[in-house]
Structures are given as structure tokens and as C-alpha cells.
Structure 1
Amino acid sequence: MRFSLIMVAGIALAACSPPVPDSGQGVGFGNYEEYQKQQRARDAQLAGSALPPATAVSQETLAADGTVVASNDGSDLAAETQAALGQGQSGSGAATAAGGTGPQPEAVYSSGISQENNFDAVGAQRSIESDAAKIAQNRAQYKVIEAEALPARPGGDGPNIVDYALATTHPMGTQVYRRIGVNLDGKAARNCAKYASPDQAQSAFLSKGGPQRDRMGLDPDGDGYACGWDPGPFRKAVGG
């Protein structure tokens, strides 16, 4: 029984395997012998009509009407070539007159440095005296504007934080005024968040009794500067 199953499986595999091509027919040809016969016939045909060597020069020329004219040597062709070249050179003037192009101008190249960098050329046009006079003329036209005090802002009735910055000398974080309370830093963080900038907080702080009093809880460390306001830039602006 087992042998019968093996035989059936072998027959099934043989039926599924692709056929092996006949190598005697050659690769890509119907019949290799027939191909060889055709190749020998072609070689014999090419041998009967030999091609001229690559260095051979044709002795034929073309007439004006396009017909081929045989020639014994290349003297006629050379003569015709020389005649055509001579005609082209002699007729260049006529072609120029007819076409209106005219002879091309020759390119002119200048050598040396420009007039602006040429000491001799500049010296002939200008002198030390003329330059001195021009400098003096420019200086006479200068206008020095003296610094003036800034005008007062209209409606500026509140405290001036610039004047306050210039009136103080102690740095930030130095306690000058006494502050009493619980959780002063947390209260200052909440209250300072109500202002768009430290300058606005400082102005409000001064208008409510600061720096001696901190009714708004904006100066927990008692340095007189509310919400981290820094007087340093104002002092630096005036050189202080």
C-alpha cells in the first residue's frame, strides 16, 4: 500500500514539472544547422561585393544641376573650391552693401586704471586747497542742536517714577522700609499680576503712600521698588 502511494506521488510530480527544452535546437533559433547554412551564405555574398577601404577618396563631384560627374583626380575639385573661396571674399563688399550690415568694428580695450584712481588725472582737476575749501564749507553748514529738557506730559498729575529712580541710590533687594504681615510674597504675586508692567505697578505704589507705606502689598521686601521694578536703567541713562 505504501509503495502504491509513493508511485502515485511520483507520477503527480512528473506531470506538474515543466518540460525541459531540447538543447539541440539551439538558443533562440528554430534549427541550428539551418542557421549555420544561412550564415555561410551571407558571408559568401559579402565576400563577393567587397567594400572600399575607409581611406579611399571618391573621384566624383556634383555638377550645378546635382548630377554626379566623374573625375580622374582631385585637381578639378580643388580648383572649384579655390574659386568658390575667392568669389566669397570678393563678394563680401557687395553682400555688405546689400545687407547693410557693414564691417564689424574692432574691439577696443583700454589698459591702465580708471580716471578716478589716476593720481595725475585727479590732480589736474582738484588740489589740496580746493579740498580744504570744500571741507570748510561743509563744516560751516553743520548745525549743533543743544539738548533740552523734555516737556511735561499733559495730565501727568501722578508720581514721576523717573524722578524717584534718580532720587534713590540703594540697589534692589536692600530693605529700607519695614513691612509687617503674613505671606507677603504670595500677596505681592497676586497683586502684581494686575498690572501690565512694573512701571505701572511702581507708579500705583507711589500714589498710594509708597515707599513708606505698602497698602497694596506690592513691595514685600521693603526696598521701595514695587513688583521687581528696577531704577537702574533710569540712573544709567543720565550717567549715574
Structure 2
Amino acid sequence: MRAFASYAAAGSLLIMAACSPQVPDSAAGVGIDGDPFAPPPAAGTTITGEPLVPPARVSTESYQTASAPRGSGPAAAAAAVPSGTAAGSDGDIARETAAALAASRANSGVAPLEASPSNPAPQAAGNASISDENDFQAVASRQSIESDAARLERQRAQYQMVQPVAVPQRIESAGPNIVRYALSTSNPKGVRVYTRAGLNLQSRNQRNCAEFASPDQAQVAFLEAGGPERDRKALDPDGDGFACGWDPAPYRQAVRN
């Protein structure tokens, strides 16, 4: 019985081992399973020694440029381009570039300007020429050193020295000068300087000031009547020396500026 049980257990283990999946070798293909001292593969072969497959050669194809217009010129000279050259070569690219430039010259109608120091100066479009007086060649054609000297002599002969004269004196007017009066005072408008006495000063002031077209005229009449010390018509009821709201500040400010 014991031998039969042993055979049965061994059979079960074999069946289980046959049914279990195989674990792949993670080190396969990285040199671990090979000889580390083996010589490197020969040139033109893979790492396993197999020969490399040569890449397919690019087929050459003939090409020609677009038909150029009849006649001579850069387009006619580059009408035909040699065929059979391997695509991508330096000579092939150079010929294609030359053919494209020739076609562009023929299609534009105007040949491109080659940059060179020997080229003449381009014509300025829409720019008027300089004036005759600023044109050196035009002036030199009609003027000379001798003519310039003669012209200077004529100008010196016509030169006149004007002698200075005395400044005329201002003629004083018969009436008072309100500008001079404004500069002779320093008190602001509304500040009492002179004593005023009488009845109904404000009502008299409004009635009498209405007779003047402007405060300047009222101030002139006020000074002519003995102001600012005396004020018989009540033109200056607050006693600041300025009649009917006249203000000396603009005249003072003008002198400061």
C-alpha cells in the first residue's frame, strides 16, 4: 500500500509540472546566454551574425523643366536638364535651382537686379529733384569765385548803419492812470484801508456804479473825484480803495510775470 501511495504522489507531481506554464527567460538575447568572450560580429551583419539586407536603391527618374518660351534668354538656356542623375545629389539640386531661377526670370518679365557696387544708383520714384539753389552743378554753371566776390562788394556798398535814437517820452494823459495806481497799492480787494461814513452806502453804491460801463471807468472816475481818500458818490463803501468791484490783481500779476 505504501508503494502504491508513493507512485500515486509522484504521478500527481508529474501531471502538475506538465500543466504549469513555461516562464520566459528575461535574459535571452542580451548576451548572458552567449559566450562573453566571443569576437564581435563581422561588418555588414546583425548582432547574431546574420547578413544585413541592403536598402533598396532609390530609382532614378528622368525629368525635364517646363517648356520655356521660344527665343533666346535664360529660360531657353535652361530648357533641358540632364536626366539619369541620382536623386538628392548636389549637382542635381544645383541644376534644379538654376532651372527655377531661369523660369522665374522668364515669367516675371523683368530681370532681377543683381547686387553689385558697380550698379548705377536706382531712380527714386515720386521724389522731386532738389531745388536749383541746392544743386551744386547748376550753381557752379552760372556762379564763380569772381562773381561771388563782386556780389559781396555790392552788398557792402548798400550796407547802412542806423544810429540809435532816444526813446520817446510817454505823454501823460489828463486823467489818472489806473495801472500805476494798481501797482502802487498792496492791499487785497475787500480789505479796508480808508474810513467810510454816510447813510445808505450800499444802495447809493449800486445806483451810482450802474452809471459806468466797466469797473475801470468807475475806478478812473473815483480817482478823479478825490479817491481813494474821499468817496462822495459811495463808489467804495468798504474802504479798500477800489471802486465798484475793481480789482488790481491782474495788473500786479502781469508785472510779476
Q: Same fold (TM over 0.5)?
A: no
TM-score (norm 2): 0.37
In terms of fraction of residues, the more helix-rich structure is: 1
Bigger radius of gyration among the two: 2
